[in-house]
Amino acid sequence: MKSLWFFLAGLFGGLGGLGGEWRWAWVPGLASALLGAMGARKRFSGLAPIPPRKGLPVTVPPTPEMENEDRRNDTTRAFLKGDLAMAGQELQARETRRLALQEVEDAIDATLFDGLTLLKDAVPKGHTYAVLFPGKSEGYYFRAWITSSDNLVPGAALNSNQGLAGQLLKENIKRVLEGDIVADSSQLHYYSSAEEKIRSLAGVPIVVKGVRRGAVLVDSREPQAFDSGTLDKLEALAHIAGNLAYHAYMAFEKGVHADQLTALTNYQRKFLENMSVENIVGHVQNYMAECLEGDRFMVVERKERHGNTARITSCLGTSAADLQGLEFSLLDKGLVSLVFEKEQIINRAFPPNPYVPRFSPGEKAQGRMASLLAVPVPTDQGLDMALVVESARSRRFPEHQQNMLTTIARAAGFALSRARLYQEKEQLASRDGLTGVDNHRTFQERFQTEILRAQRYNHQLAVLMMDIDFFKKVNDSHGHPIGDVVLKDVAKIISQSIRAGTDLLARYGGEEFVCMLADTDRTLAAETAERIRESVATRVFEAGSTRFQVTLSIGGAMYPSDSKHGREILEKADKSLYRAKETGRNRLVFYN
């Protein structure tokens, strides 16, 4: 059942284009060919591939592998000619789509070969019989053929300026019929030698829905080998082959399109299921890799909101390790910078040389890319993110893919706006409004988690309780605004002296701070405490024309040597702090 549409498309398309006695000769042959196609028999040319000879005007793929993979995959887009906006190269996984497309291509190839076999029986004077399909370039290439020649170039390309056969690419040419060719057959461009001495050529274009999508031709070494009846047979095969391939590709692409729309809906739902900016970025990255045909996928963000420096925060694909974390200036006017500056979509195809910078003028080319699509992610907080996908193939991002990425970018932007508002509210609830460090409640929650971790891994940890000496005198002498400056600067000095993401710092109340140092022994804790104390003591503050300094008293306690309970460790650190104040201030005292 999986290939039933192959049968129907080919059969009914063929019946519509045949007439007279010829129709009744082709019906059983066509049925046989399509039944063979359902078995996905592989195409063969009747000969082993012959390597091209240098110096002849023949366009060929560099390797048989490219002919089998790249040319056939490019044909899908070229053959449809925009009748269906391409859905991309990915389904739920790249390998899934590759295998599905391979099955479609194999079935088409098998049917084309069977059609050529029937044509050879009906036109016995032929030397080479061929079906040509459009490829990546403007011309056609040999998709399937049967030949008696040792000089046919496998997968040869044909352009409109290449002799008699090239006439089949011109819109005003309906048929080509020549029975007295006197020039060298190398003018046919698909032979590597003039030894063939071709005298006759017949060919017709493949036209589906009024658009040229390939050609069928036959040549012969005999003069006047073909007549109008031959052209009728060629047109019948062209009609069958064209409709078969068209409907096969259309059905395949519609299936991919449906899968992509399903994926888009799923990711939009995922965006709204969580309030994490990091998770949203991860989902966006997965969507691009799953549903777009590209070789490199990037999420680019401003380092600071409304700032002029951006960073590649996430990268998958070619040279990902080299680009991950790359920072660049938006003032350098690279292509991606225009997304932030103009808030516009960038969809570009590049020539092989010279290299066009994506981010900054002096950047190193990381994997030769021929196409780039960059889409802004708009949020309520402004434009500070862009999605970028690149491909090694030229013109790989048609309007459909651009629209799909734009849609996901808008959905992601809406989700990011909500997530950021949620995080800001959470931060307001967990942070001290003046200094920006954790508040007392947040510290208590996180501290209990760190105690459990230390117990599990048998680690030590230190607690430092810190108080600004004579802080009331600062407020009384210089005013509360200056006092606030002192509190913020002291909090900043402490933050810069501990490990971000590992140690904890909180404003414990008034002019008092508490710091927890994870996986730290008494010696390292004392070194950190002294470094903080000395940094605060050397800081000079200004209040008008007055310059002054403050000092810090510090009390410390250790887990598990002083206690194995979090509350007791805090109490003992607090007692040590008061001991430091009683013995002269501006000093460190550990619990003893």
Beta 588-590 vs 552-559: how paired, if at all? parallel
| Report for 37-46, 148-157, 484-493: range of highest mean pLDDT | 484-493
* Residues assigned a catalytic role: 511
Which CATH number is correct for 274-422, 3.30.450.40, 3.40.50.300, 2.60.120.10, 3.40.47.10? 3.30.450.40
Q: Which two tokens stand for residue 317?
A: 């694909």
**pLDDT tier at 557, thresholds 50, 70, 90:** very high
**pLDDT tier at 226, thresholds 50, 70, 90:** very high
Task: Give the H/E segment covering residue 558.
Answer: strand 552-559
Domain 4-255 CATH class label? alpha beta
Q: What is the mean pLDDT of residues 548-569?
A: 94
Q: Which residues of 89-118 are buried (b: 16+ CB within 10 A; e: fewer)?
A: bbbeeeeebeeebeebbbbbbbbbbbbbbb
353 Cβ contact partners less than 8 Å away, ≥ 6 residues apart: none
List pLDDT tens digits, range 370-406.
889 999 988 877 788 899 999 888 777 878 788 878 8
Of the candidates 526, 358, 379, 559, the residue with the CA atom closest to the CA atom of residue 453: 559
Instruction: Quote the CA–CA distance of 306 and 473 in Å, as a whole number.
Output: 40
Query: What pLDDT was estimated at residue 504?
Result: 93
Least confident of 34-43, 44-53, 277-286, 517-526: 44-53
Average pLDDT, the chain: 79
Question: Considering the domain 440-590 in this protein, what is its CATH number?
Answer: 3.30.70.270
- CATH 3.30.70.270 maps onto the chain at 440-590
List pLDDT tens digits, range 436-448.
899 888 898 889 9
Instruction: Quote the CA–CA distance of 361 and 384 in Å, as a whole number.
Output: 21
Query: Greater confidence, 290 or 23?
Result: 290
Query: Greater confidence, 48 or 163?
Result: 163
Query: Greater confidence, 209 or 555?
Result: 555
Q: Which amino acid is at 560?
A: P
- CATH 3.30.450.40 maps onto the chain at 4-255, 274-422
